[in-house]
Amino acid sequence: MTEKAKRRRKLSYEILGLFAVCFAAALVLFFFLIFFGIGVAEEYCWENGIPLDEEALYRLDGFVFSVSLAVSVIFFAVLFIVLFGERLAYIGTIIKGVDILRGGEMGYRLPLEGNNELTALAEAINYLSETEAAVKARERGLKEEKEALIRALSHDIRTPLTSIIAYTELLSAKENATAQEMSEYFSLVEKKAGQIKSITEILLDGGKRNVEHFENARLLIEQLVCEFEEALEESFTLKVDISACAAFAGSFDVQEMRRIFDNLISNVQKYAAHEKPVELTVENGERGLTVRQKNAVKKNAHQAQSYKMGLYSILRIAQNYGGGAEVRQSEDEFEIIITLSNL
């Protein structure tokens, strides 16, 4: 129990105290009026030469007493009703506040007056509305996170699917595909289908990761860089440098790393200018693993929503490794620096 709660006065005691004060004031007024009334009457009679015999005095005393009593009773009633009404008006304030909260304005807080049960009630209502607002905000946050995850994963499914469709169309257009081309096709379909399956599993499992430990993670990086080169070398001039990435041990979710590189490939294919080389640098150091990708931007390139989704997807994956993704963009150039720290 808080200090304030311990010192809390009971409303009934407050009302009793109020009654006592009003009664005491009325009593003082009553006696004051009796002495004052008799004094005024005697003064008036003396000044006007009116004799006061016993009967007249008796009648006068009775009259003064009755009037004093009546005035004191009215005085007590008015004083008590006004002061008591002020206490009760707080109940009206609380009811009004509850109506406002019920109307959906969860930011409203009831004013706290006094230190009794009504104050405790107002504090409790404020606490409940704060808690509900916090719960609703958390729910909204979780819902937004879930939707963002679904959007990102859906976007990432599109990249391997696009590869399968493109290669299928290419082979369908060819009259006589060789056995090697068919073998490469099946290999690609198998790899990309595996990627789609992994991403679908993440979607169904609510974002569960499959982290593996690599004694020499440089081999994984080399594989991914190789796939990056294979996807882009026909259309772009590439400058790839992984010399600053020494052999190192680390834990990775392979599908996540693949998604990073797929998104980089996808963005280069859509928005990079062909005239200038596309750069990719991978290095590891104290900050962890850093992947830098830079390219010139096509003139009049309209960056669709999928571009933002791709970068968002990269950022979310980097955050899983305690890192981040920094984008530096101008009209002519694009650069992204991805840092993975907790390996």
Partner 1 sequence: MFTSLDLLVVVSMGIIAATFLSLMLMFLLKNQKAKRVFFYIVVALGVYVSTIGFRIGITGFIEQVVLAVLAALMSVGAFVLERAAGGDGKKLRIARIIAAAALVLGIISALFI
Which residues sit opposite 250 in a β-bridge?
214
* Structure tokens, 246: 């020494």
Burial category of 51 from C-beta neighbours within 10 Å (exposed 0-12, middle 13-18, buried 19 and up): exposed
Q: Which is nearer to partner 1, 79 or 188 (CB)?
A: 79
Count the neighbouring beta carbons within 10 Å of the beta carbon of residue 262: 26
Asked if residues 310 and 263 have their Cβ atoms less than 8 Å apart, the reply is: yes
Reduced to 3 states (helix: H, G, I; strand: E, B; else coil), residue 294 is strand
Asked if residues 295 and 268 have their Cβ atoms less than 8 Å apart, the reply is: yes
CA distances from 311 to 88, 145, 302, 303 (A): 60, 16, 15, 12
Q: Which residues contact 321 (CB under 8 A, 6 or more apart)?
A: 288, 340, 341, 342, 343
First CA to last CA across the chain, in angstroms?
Answer: 47
CA distances from 295 to 18, 278, 330 (A): 81, 5, 11
Residue whose tokens read 């909260």:
101
* Structure tokens, 161: 């699917």
Q: Which is nearer to partner 1, 113 or 335 (CB)?
A: 113
The contact set with partner 1 (CB under 8 A) reads 25, 29, 32-33, 36-37, 40-41, 44-45, 50, 60, 63-64, 67-68, 71-72, 74-75, 78-79, 82-83, 86, 89, 113
Task: Kindly state the smallest distance separating residue 32's Cβ from partner 1, in Å.
Answer: 7
Q: Which is nearer to partner 1, 42 or 184 (CB)?
A: 42
d(CA 198, CA 256): 10
Q: Which is nearer to partner 1, 36 or 58 (CB)?
A: 36
Q: Which is nearer to partner 1, 61 or 181 (CB)?
A: 61
d(CA 271, CA 211): 32
Q: Which is nearer to partner 1, 113 or 227 (CB)?
A: 113
Q: Which is nearer to partner 1, 13 or 32 (CB)?
A: 32
CA distances from 313 to 83, 221, 251 (A): 65, 19, 19
d(CA 327, CA 63): 96
Reduced to 3 states (helix: H, G, I; strand: E, B; else coil), residue 221 is helix
Q: Which is nearer to partner 1, 56 or 193 (CB)?
A: 56
Q: Which is nearer to partner 1, 78 or 249 (CB)?
A: 78
* Structure tokens, 262: 């797929």
